[in-house]
Amino acid sequence: MAEKTGGDSSVSDRGKWQIRYVYRLLERDAFLDSLPDSDSYDGDTNVKGHQISLTRGLAKNVTLGLTYHHMKPIKTLSGVTDHSLGSGNYQKLLKTDLSVSF
């Protein structure tokens, strides 16, 4: 996994922002099934892909976040994937988060 973050270190006030990029390569059976991020190809292993997040401060302790996941199964040596969602299908997920801290 490789990660790069830019912008403000903490997004807790209006006008602050942060962008984050993550490249994830999670080989088959690398972790217990309950540990991987469930937003990245439904939490399965044997996947690789990109995650881009943008968080913007709307007011003090109020943030809006957008996260985009673009993941696909890793090919096995025979060129066939063993993933339940199909052979080589990309999974694209866009999610929004509104967070209020108090």
Sheet strands (E) in 33-90? 47-59, 62-73
Residue 30 is part of which domain span? 2-100
Residue 88 has a pLDDT of 63
Please say if the pLDDT value at position 87 is more than 80.
Answer: no
Q: What count of residues does the chain have?
A: 102
- The neighbour count for residue 65, using CB atoms within 10 Å, is 16
Please say if the pLDDT value at position 40 is more than 80.
Answer: no
Strands 17-26 and 47-59: antiparallel
Mean pLDDT computed over 1-30: 91
Please give the share of the chain, as a percent, with pLDDT higher than 90.
51
Domain count, the chain: 1
Tokens of 50: 């990109």
Instruction: Give whole-number Cα distances, 11 to 6, 49, 64, 91, in Å.
Output: 12, 26, 10, 29
